Amino acid sequence: MGSNTVHLLIVDAHTGAAPIPAMSQKYELRLAEQLNNDGDLKKSSVKSLIEVLHECNKFIEEHNCDELLAFATSAIRESKGSDAILEKIKAETGIDLQVLDGEHEAILTFLAVRRWFGWSSGRLLVADIGGGSLEVAIGADEHPELAISTPLGAGRLTRDFFTSEIPSDDEINALRTHIKNTLETDFLHLQTGEFDHAVATSKTFRQLARLGGSAPASEGQRVQRELTSVSLGNWVPKIAQMNYEQRAQLPGISIGRAEQLLAGAIVAQETMEFLKLETLEICPWALREGIILRRLDWFGDDAE
């Protein structure tokens, strides 16, 4: 349960093998944008969320799933009434939803990227832009040496800084200043040049790479895809002059994600500049796969 979507992923998986997707269903609820001024999630959003989870339960039953792993990220984590929401979800759907903190999001995403690229990739830097937060992790092993989460999500920043579909220059400048200040504060101890391979995950980075000419999803997971700082420099000014409908006509951009595209692109641009990155390789595995892989690791340990 992310800040943008609820994603049901059903996989055929066992220890020592890559999880094979059997079914994938997404619901765009954009929970990060549904917080009241007092920090609580709107009642209508909680109702929609429970309706979606009832539908997920039907798919889970139809596929005879052996185990359910249910996790939520920053939208639920930061809601003032998160405990009550979790209790309501469990009472009405039977789903015991666990809330991940930002650091564990970064750690599990890093694990998925490490497994995808393997040891030959050396020291990894992994960046992930979600609806509510930005995660960055770095390390040479399967567990990162450094994992940072900061509230620079595309949905959050769109809500907090933009008042129209085509924001003013002042709003964009204010957003850039906020991102720069946050990166300088939260990533102060992250030294550039400490990694061999820079990688990005998440829908935002995949969409931006697609705009830059990377292969569409229809060509499969194993096609190499990249996002470059040059491409971002070309696209950000163009996106800033487009309304949502125009953005949704761009390659790989859905109408549901069009609203957040500009803020996400600016976060990516400022992050790459701060970390002195010219290129990020896109990894198709991210948090969900990391959760599954970690569970399989524990299952293997239990079997022993």
Nearest to 208 by CA among 280, 144, 146, 138: 280
pLDDT of 78 > 90? The answer is: no
Q: Once rounded to an integer, what is the mean pLDDT over residues 121-125?
A: 96
Residue 22: predicted pLDDT? 93
Domain boundaries, the chain: 5-99, 102-288
SS3 label, residue 127 = strand
What is the rounded radius of gyration, in angstroms, for the C-alpha atoms of the chain? 19
Q: Spell out the residues 6+ positions from residue 102 whose beta carbon is closer than 8 angstroms to its own.
A: 74, 77, 133, 135, 148, 149, 150
pLDDT of 97 > 60? The answer is: yes
Residue 154: predicted pLDDT? 94
Residue 301: predicted pLDDT? 53
> 5-99 in CATH: which number?
3.30.420.40
Q: Kindly state the DSSP code that residue 213 receives in the 8-state scheme.
A: T
pLDDT tens digits, 13-69: 888 888 999 999 999 998 887 878 788 899 999 999 999 999 999 999 999 999 999
pLDDT of 304 > 50? The answer is: no
Domains 5-99 and 102-288 share a fold: yes
CA distances from 296 to 18, 67, 292, 300, 302 (A): 10, 11, 6, 6, 10
- Residue 100: left if φ>0, alpha if ψ -120 to 50, beta else—which one? beta
- Using CA atoms, how far apart are residues 197 and 142, in angstroms rounded to an integer? 14
Residue 15: predicted pLDDT? 87
> Across all residues in the chain, what is the average pLDDT?
93
Question: Which CATH architecture is the domain 102-288 placed in?
Answer: 2-Layer Sandwich (3.30)
CA distances from 103 to 74, 143, 215, 271, 274 (A): 11, 12, 31, 18, 20
Q: Once rounded to an integer, what is the mean pLDDT over residues 78-93?
A: 94
Residue 37: predicted pLDDT? 76
